[in-house]
Amino acid sequence: MDVDRSALQTGTQVRQVCRSGEFTGQTSGLALGFAQANLVILRKQDAVDFREFCERNPKPCPLLEVTEAGDPCPHKLAESSDLRTDLPRYRVWKHGELVEEPTEISHHWQEDLVSFLIGCSFTFESALVKAGLPVRHLDLGVNVPMYRTSINCESAGMFSGPLVVSMRPFKPADAIRAVQITSRFPAVHGAPIHLGFPEQIGILNLNQPDFGDSIPVESDELPLFWACGVTPQAVLMQAKREFAITHSPGCMFVSDVKEATLAVS
């Protein structure tokens, strides 16, 4: 398990050490420049509604790729990949309950499973950092704070629930730059959905996130709120489907696609 993280510089390299079982940790900071993705795997009968849910809510659920039933490879994101073995760690859910957290899922694979690869905010955070903007939770080495909002997603079949957002504070001029930069990445949540007045979206206490860690917001800063990839997971758990597999938090699928290619201009 003593893989040298600094040696994992491409998607292929990360997936290889996952596949061999040598690496089972979080993927944040690995293979810089390569897009990472959230994973949701469902039975075909549930996949139709879940896809519709994602299409109706593109800001929290930006679909990077959907596989054909039974095919464990997302061909556009990484031709040589195998979703059954190439993530560090998975979560297996039955009727909305977490039943197993394995490092590979070959023993669960079935011909009717459809895999959803959903854009991840690591990509736009890396664009913010490259632009010289200070990203508070990265500087503090903690998880981004996330909140359930009073905004409901558009539902589809059995999938419904509140929009979950992540929060990053910026000084005003940096807030404007952050809007500009993340607007270029609609495939990874895009522009913020709100800034300035948390109570307007049902967030009553910034210091009490529903997920992740609390971080300070200074008096000369504005809180900016982005639609968050935790939304589809929360919605999925709430729908209590008979069978589902997701990545384990922070243990993402690392693709061969360069983050820069996800920018619209």
Residue of 15, 49, 76, 70 whose CA lies nearest to 251: 15
Closer Cβ to a second copy, 195 or 236, answer by number: 195
State the nearest-atom distance from the C-beta of 47 to a second copy, in Å: 31
- Kindly state the smallest distance separating residue 191's Cβ from a second copy, in Å: 6
Torsion, CA 181, CA 187, CA 191, CA 193, rounded to 10:
-160
Residue (168 or 194) nearer to a second copy, CB: 194
* Least distance (Å) between residue 124 CB and a second copy: 14
Task: With CA atoms as reference, report the closest residue to 159 among 233, 249, 245, 50.
Answer: 50
d(CA 163, CA 183): 19
d(CA 35, CA 219): 34
For the chain, the first-to-last Cα distance in angstroms comes to: 40
Nearer to a second copy, 6 or 219 (CB): 219
The least distance separating a second copy from the CB of residue 165, rounded to whole angstroms, comes to: 12
Q: Toward a second copy, which CB reaches closer, 70 or 196?
A: 196
Nearer to a second copy, 69 or 179 (CB): 179
CB 180, min distance to a second copy, A: 5
Do 29 and 36 contact (CB within 8 A), yes or no?
Answer: no
Q: Summarize as ranges the residues that interact with a second copy (CB under 8 A).
A: 172-173, 175-176, 179-180, 183, 191-197, 200, 220, 222, 265
